[in-house]
């Protein structure tokens, strides 16, 4: 694994980009292209800086779950990052873009957990067990972002950058899983009433609940399991798209009320 000095240098580079609003060079020149332990160590360093500044962890996000997004990012596997309370702009309308550098938006299914997913044995983490842990599912918009100039990222870059996270919005009315089947939903994403992206639940690792199971396994291995009350963004149902200040974004996911957000500079 990369040295502590290298990890610290990568954290500082990404943190400075976020604080100044000026995108930075990729960090793979520091941590390499294959060292996932180093990439997640950088992610932890960035998150810890924000926790020290007063933020709280409220959940997790899963990235690169669809082939469309993997193609857009040039990666071939999913990753995960943390959701912090200051990333949740669900109660803000319109949503300010002042903290964003190079945003894109994607539509997905979110889950709110009713119980911990922390068994003694990793083998106990199954589709059935994570389904049982879900309180409700919600429609969600994730505003992904990159601190790295021009989205010139490899897999370790996006992992280090908290899975290219930005902000997120979830709907107000959740539905239990006996009323909606995540893998069967259909999605359209429109900007200013023009459909720009579409997809379905099966595009998210075959089933958003499979994405949740994958995440629960990773969190268990990292020693930081999923907890009751946390929100999980399960991953895009179709390609992400750019947007600009003044745009009105609407996600329509079958089984849920439409989710609409307007962005301002």
Residue 206, φ and ψ in degrees, nearest 5: 90, -25
Assigned domain for 79 exists: yes
Assigned domain for 157 exists: yes
Assigned domain for 233 exists: yes
Question: Domain containing 163: what range?
Answer: 57-264
For residues 221-250, average pLDDT: 96
Closest to 165 (Cα-Cα) out of 82, 77, 248, 65: 82
pLDDT for residue 108: 97
Assigned domain for 95 exists: yes
**CATH number of the domain to which 69 belongs:** 3.90.850.10
**What is the number of domains present in the chain?**
1
Assigned domain for 45 exists: no
pLDDT for residue 244: 96
Assigned domain for 40 exists: no
Could you give the count of Cα atoms lying within 13 Å of 125 in the half-sphere of its Cβ? 22
Residues 6+ apart with CB under 8 A from 149: 23, 24, 25, 26
Neighbour count for residue 12 (Cβ, 10 Å): 15
pLDDT for residue 132: 97
pLDDT in tens, 138-191: 999 999 999 999 999 999 999 999 999 999 999 999 999 999 999 999 999 999
Q: Is 36 exposed, middle or buried (0-12, 13-18, 19+ CB in 10 A)?
A: middle
pLDDT for residue 74: 77
Assigned domain for 132 exists: yes
For residues 215-232, average pLDDT: 96
pLDDT in tens, 38-78: 999 999 999 999 999 999 999 999 998 878 777 877 777 88
Assigned domain for 84 exists: yes
């Amino acid at each position: 694994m990369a040295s502590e000095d290298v990890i610290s240098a990568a954290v500082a580079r990404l943190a400075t980009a976020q604080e100044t609003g000026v995108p930075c060079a990729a960090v793979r020149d520091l941590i390499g292209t294959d060292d996932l332990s180093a990439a997640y160590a950088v992610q932890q360093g960035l998150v810890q800086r924000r926790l020290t500044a007063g933020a709280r962890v409220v959940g997790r996000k899963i990235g690169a779950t669809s082939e469309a997004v993997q193609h857009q990012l040039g990666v071939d596997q999913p990753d995960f990052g943390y959701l912090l309370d200051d990333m949740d702009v669900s109660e803000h309308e319109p949503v300010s873009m002042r903290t964003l550098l190079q945003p894109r938006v994607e539509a997905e299914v979110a889950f709110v957990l009713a119980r911990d997913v922390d068994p003694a044995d990793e083998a106990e983490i199954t589709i059935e067990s994570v389904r049982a842990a879900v309180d409700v599912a919600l429609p969600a918009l994730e505003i992904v972002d990159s601190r790295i100039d021009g989205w010139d990222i490899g897999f370790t870059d996006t992992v280090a950058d908290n899975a290219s996270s930005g902000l997120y919005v979830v709907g107000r009315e959740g539905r239990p899983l006996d009323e909606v089947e995540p893998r069967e939903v259909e999605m359209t994403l429109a900007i200013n009433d023009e459909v720009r992206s579409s997809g379905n639940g099966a595009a998210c690792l075959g089933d958003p609940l499979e994405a949740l199971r994958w995440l629960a396994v990773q969190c268990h291995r990292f020693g930081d399991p999923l907890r009751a009350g946390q929100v999980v963004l399960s991953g895009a149902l179709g390609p992400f798209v750019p947007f600009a200040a003044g745009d009105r974004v609407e996600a329509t996911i079958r089984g849920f009320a439409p989710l609409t957000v307007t962005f301002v500079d």
